Structure 1
Amino acid sequence: MASMSGVAANDSCVGMWEKLKAGKIKSCQFKVENKEIVPIEESVQEKGAPDAWKSFTQSLPESECRYAIYDVAIKLDMGPGVPAGERTKLTFIIWSPDSAPIRQKMVSASSKDALKKKFEGIQVEWQLTSPEDLDASDRISDLSTKSDIKTSGRGILSFEGIAA
């Protein structure tokens, strides 16, 4: 199905989403190329990659839009006497940096639904526009507002191994 912009998601995007949901990969980026959204094969991070969030954020282009999927790992304080709980969140990310060309940002915004509709089971969606948005503390703050993250303890202890 094509988006309002006429951009369609390539079927290989769904293959990447299925790998993420199955726990085979940690993340993957996508780009618009020739009126089609395609996975960027070299952006795929395997599950268990060290410093995955740092590698992911550093790989996002400074002035180009991207879509990404990321299996976020968080550790939660479950309350006194209860061991910390671990959760993952299947996350859809729209990276639209302020420095990207206006036309590219418009195509990205009007095409995201073509990709998003193919990803059944998205738990979190982030639209990020600056390096500050990629900071772990900003992501922790956002996740803390989710109703299924509430705990009887102190909330999120770590995000992707980064202490809260």
Structure 2
Amino acid sequence: MDVLAYTHSYFGLNANATSGMAVHDDCKLKFLELKAKRTYRFIVFKIEEKQKQVIVEKVGEPTESYEDFTSNLPADECRYAVYDYDFVTAENCQKSRIFFIAWSPDVARVRSKMIYASSKDRFKRELDGIQVELQATDPTEMDLDVFRSRAN
């Protein structure tokens, strides 16, 4: 038995689970609204294992802060998120970057981490317009300093 087959049998994943995660239309719709109209500051996405699909869990209004965003990421569960980060360049120009965050805290269930990791690339491809990707296992890996350094 190869490693992948073993992993799937060990974690109870069917062969389809790695690529068979559906993406709810609402995910793409809300992302387009964030990208084109700046309707939201952030979107938090959750995998519904029973329905085998990614859904929108929470949207943040444009007035919400970075702290509002991070408070919507559970400390012990994986999530995907998109954050519209505004910043001012060294030339004093107002800009923004759309960040994709793969949130996978160390204390999350191993099965959950596997499912999120194996579905990430396919899900990210559905969101056309991601400019920066971050992987984070604890809050320090996605604090504002990290956003600042990756935005330029």
Report the TM-score range of the alignment, normalised by the length of the smaller protein.
0.7 to 0.9
5 Å-filtered alignment, 1:10-89, equals 10-21=24-35, 22-33=37-48, 34=50, 35-40=52-57, 43-49=58-64, 52-78=65-91, 84-89=92-97
Cα RMSD of the aligned pairs, angstroms, is 1.5
CA shift in 2, pair 1:3/1:103, >3 Å:
closer
Counterparts of 1:18 and 1:11, CA distance in 2: 11
Cα distance in 2 for partners of 1:31, 1:107 equals 11
Do the aligned residues in 2 keep the contact of 1:90 with 1:123 (CA within 8 Å)? yes
Kept in 2: contact 1:27–1:71 (CA 8 A): yes
What TM-score results when the alignment is normalised by the length of structure 2? Answer: 0.82
- Partner secondary structure for residue 31 of structure 2: helix
Q: What percentage of aligned pairs have identical amino acids?
A: 37
- 1:3 touches 1:114 (CA, 8 Å); kept in 2? no
* Larger relative strand fraction: 1
Unaligned runs of 5+ in 1: 79-83, 144-148, 150-164
Aligned to 2:124: 116
Shift >3 Å, 4+ stretches: none
C-alpha deviation, 1:93, in angstroms: 1.0
* Residue-pair matches, total: 134
Tell me which residue corresponds to 1:6: 20
